[in-house]
Amino acid sequence: MRFAVLVFPGTWSDHDCQYVLRDRLGQEADLVWHREEDLAAYDAIVLPGGFAHGDYLRCGAIARFSPVMAAVRREAARGKPVIGICNGFQILCEAGLLPGVLMRNDSTQFRCEDVQLRLETAATPFTAAGAAGDVLRVPISHGEGNYYADPETLARLNAEDRVVFRYCTPAGAVTAAANPNGSLENIAGILNEGRNVLGMMPHPERASEALMGGEDGLVIWRSLVASVTARAAAAR
């Protein structure tokens, strides 16, 4: 399968994502510059973390206008899986592909640390290899990860099983103390209505090799590869 790993000026997790997909999971993964206008040749799209365009104005506010984002919208509408990680999540929200916004951490501090995530639903292309209730240890690295949405949007996300991850304790309890940034309801990742676009603040690419401290992030990557493979087989 062929993955597009998008690169904006200021992106820095692109090579990490490419490494996991290519060297750990044996997939074709290309770094795609943000001026590219056609992603039709790819089976899935990754928007990695970083500081696209220096995070000027707001995180992702300039990146949303990059030529490649029209292609992302087009391929997402066709049902292709799209995952946005950290800055990628922020870009997807700014581009209207996901609801809500990512605001400054309530501590006003940049947080770079391991957190625990409770997997809320396995009914997604990104988590099917796991089970609801699983607790994953995955690092975060952000200053604007405080997820906010209006009450109506929040209610809809919950009613439609579109909250994918919540910050939790190692035992799986969703508590205020386990929330590293002030996100509403400890939300760490959400889906679009079509369930093929995921935004998450933690970095699964940094938790995909034992040498780096853990492999819990592989649940997301293996799920994505399996989903893309099944989708391609069904299209034949």
Edge-to-edge strand ranges of the sheet holding 111-119:
28-33, 2-7, 44-47, 82-85, 197-200, 187-191, 163-168, 111-119, 135-142
Active-site residue 17, yes or no?
Answer: no
Catalytic residue among 75, 94, 144, 205: 205
Q: Report the C-alpha gap between 14 and 18 in whole angstroms.
A: 6
Task: Verify whether residue 168 is a known catalytic residue.
Answer: no
The answer to whether residue 15 is catalytic is no
Write down the catalytic residue from 17, 34, 53, 86.
86
Q: Centre a 10 Å sphere on the Cβ of residue 140 and count the other Cβ atoms it contains.
A: 24
Contact between 188 and 166 under an 8 Å Cβ cutoff? The reply is yes
Distances (CA, A) of 202 to 77, 109, 111, 115, 117: 25, 16, 11, 8, 9
Q: Given the DSSP bridges, would you call strands 82-85 and 111-119 parallel, antiparallel or unpaired?
A: unpaired
Instruction: Collect all residues with Cβ–Cβ distance below 8 Å to 235 and sequence separation of at least 6.
Output: none
The residues annotated as belonging to the active site are 86, 203, 205
